[in-house]
């Protein structure tokens, strides 16, 4: 289980990096386009980079939102795992060990209930 949590973290890191890298490269390309447009004026008749990259930026924004939601879900999963780590470890034990702990817990609960009902 711990290995799975590490894999989730290791997978999510490059995804965010790729989005940042793509946005950086789009920004550099747009800056170069503006520079050439300013240098050559009306002779630079190419479609402005902002227009061409608009849909890509829109998709990147959606992608970032998906990554953000996934990161939030991963965080909640990590919190829940940590909160229930002992129970998960217990469930992965042998039946004998699990049964022994369960009997002790049930006996403790029974004694609490009998004290409440009797007292």
Burial class (CB in 10 A: 0-12, 13-18, 19+), 37: middle
At 97-118, the pLDDT tens digits run 666 666 665 666 656 665 555 5
Indicate whether 83 pLDDT > 70.
Answer: yes
Topology given in CATH for the domain delimited by 2-83:
Butyryl-CoA Dehydrogenase, subunit A; domain 3 (1.20.140)
Is the distance from CB of 37 to CB of 50 less than 8 angstroms?
Answer: no
**89 token code pair:** 């470890």
Is the distance from CB of 26 to CB of 56 less than 8 angstroms?
Answer: yes
Dmax (CA) for the chain in angstroms is: 95
For the question of whether the overall pTM of this predicted structure is more than 0.85, the answer is no
Residue 16: pLDDT band by 50, 70, 90 thresholds?
Answer: confident
The position carrying tokens 């795992």 is 81
From residue 93, alpha-carbon distances to 79, 83, 90, 113 in Å are 22, 18, 5, 28
Residue 91: what pLDDT?
Answer: 74
Residue 17: what pLDDT?
Answer: 82
At 23-82, the pLDDT tens digits run 999 999 999 999 999 999 999 899 999 999 999 999 999 988 988 888 888 888 888 888
- Residue 47 DSSP SS3: coil
């Amino acid at each position: 289980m711990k290995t799975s949590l590490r894999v989730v973290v290791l997978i999510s890191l490059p995804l965010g990096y790729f989005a940042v890298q793509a946005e950086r490269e789009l920004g550099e390309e747009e800056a170069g386009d503006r520079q050439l447009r300013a240098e050559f004026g009306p002779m630079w008749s190419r479609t402005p980079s902002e227009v061409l990259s608009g849909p890509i930026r829109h998709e990147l924004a959606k992608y970032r939102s998906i990554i953000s939601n996934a990161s939030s879900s991963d965080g909640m999963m990590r919190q829940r795992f940590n909160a229930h780590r002992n129970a998960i470890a217990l469930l992965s034990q042998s039946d004998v060990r699990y049964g022994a702990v369960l009997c002790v817990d049930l006996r403790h609960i029974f004694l609490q209930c009998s004290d409440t009902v009797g007292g």
